[in-house]
A = this chain, B = another copy of it.
Amino acid sequence: MSSNTLGKAFTVTCFGESHGRCVGVVIDGCPSGLRIDESDIQMEVDRRGPRGETLVSGRTEEDKVEILSGIYRGYTTGAPVTALVWNRDIMSRDYEGLADKPRPGHADYPANVKFGGFSDLRGGGRWSGRMTVTLVMAGAVAKKLLNLHKIEVLAYTSKVGNVEASKVSVDEIRVNTYKNPVRTADLKIVEKMVEEILNAKSRGDSVGSIVDFIALNVPVGVGEPFFDPLDGDLAKGLFTIPGVKGVEFGLGFKSSTVYGSENNDEYKIEAGRIVTSTNNSGGILGGMSNGMPITGRVAFKPPPSIARKQKTIDLKRFENVEITVGGRHDPCIAPKAVPVVESVISIVLVDHMLRSGIIKRIIKS
């Protein structure tokens, strides 16, 4: 079956490999009449930052977005929107000889078995963080659609190893996140997070991290239970991001330790709107949005590419061996993942809003 497509109404099909010719995306189901051009998509790709750098910094010229289809005279036509970024600056030599010696923590071994040894594993191939550029390109289109409905999707690095951000306001997320290399919203913690990352790196190691997200102004009733619940589809989308090991909404795992009387969010009328006094549900009840902010967290493992010697096996000789993984690698996933998390959430929201008819097939933008 088709497995490289996310969504049902706003569908995102990605193609390409980390060290192939390009990474690209076909977006099917985008309404017609949306004003958009390459710079809108480029802006989001730039926020993700350059490849292979220590931490996230400014744009590199190489990742230039090209739109191949679906836009005419500055507006979407309703036909598939295709966008891609050509791959340049590739040093595939680093990966030679590793095909038969799977790197611990990477997809190499199951990929080898699943695809009979035919996978292009250079630079992580399909499993590289590089593939998330395609999510960000699609996310850029989704965000434009959400903007028309005043919906805002924000994310930030809330934890790096054991360094944790304090509780922040929405405004702090908006203003601070993309102004610091770790993409956190708590400026007081930036230095410590950078330090944690650089320390790990200097030891030839990597470190885990958490990204918090919040989506504002999502209307009530988005999500399709029983089997396409909003939280379920968001979780599925988020688990497609390489390195994710956990997803929770609202109180999340903490909700397992509290009582119903503490956890239930009571309704009230406030300024003429129905709201809840607390938001332990993270804005989702029975798989549908309830009008409150959609909140949650995504846990990232430390990137598996570390400079240390590791034990593995030689698949051809079927014997135990040791390897050292070369190449340039990010020592922490969260900083680059922040715009990816935003993109996935935006894509899933648009998909569901199209399905429920809240976003129309023809846009006046």
Contacts and interface: CB of A to CB of B under 8 A. Distances in A.
Give the copy number: 4
Contacts of A258: 161, 207-208, 301-302
A105 B291 CA distance: 13
A120 B228 CA distance: 19
Given A2-B28, A235-B247, A159 B15 contact: no
A125 to B, nearest CB: 7
Contacts of A33: 115-116, 118
Interface in A9-32: 9, 11-17, 20-22, 24, 26, 28-29, 32
A206 interface: yes
Contact of A5 (B2, B127, B287, B318): B2
A234 to B, nearest CB: 8
Contacts of A42: none
A309 B186 CA distance: 39
Nearest to A81: B15
Interface stretch (A57-65, A176-184, A273-281): A273-281
A24 B114 CA distance: 27
A165 interface: no
Nearest to A163: B257
B245 A250 contact: yes
A260 B313 contact: no
Nearest to A122: B72
B2 A8 contact: yes
A44 interface: no
B80 A13 contact: yes
A344 to B, nearest CB: 10
Interface string A196-227: 00001001011111100000000011011111
Interface stretch (A47-55, A145-153, A236-244): A236-244
Interface stretch (A167-175, A187-195, A263-271): A263-271
Nearest to A318: B269
Nearest to A312: B267
A85 B252 CA distance: 32
A355 interface: yes
B263 A208 contact: yes
A134 to B, nearest CB: 8
Shortest Cβ-Cβ A-B pairs, 4 listed: A107-B286, A114-B221, A246-B248, A3-B224
Given A2-B28, A116-B362, A258-B301, 20 more contacts: A1-B11, A2-B29, A3-B226, A15-B70, A16-B68, A22-B68, A105-B264, A107-B288, A110-B223, A111-B288, A209-B256, A235-B235, A236-B236, A246-B253, A256-B300, A259-B302, A260-B331, A263-B301, A267-B313, A269-B318
19 contacts: A2-B11, A16-B68, A16-B82, A75-B118, A109-B290, A114-B221, A114-B356, A210-B256, A227-B240, A245-B251, A245-B256, A255-B301, A259-B302, A261-B308, A264-B304, A266-B312, A268-B313, A268-B320, A269-B313
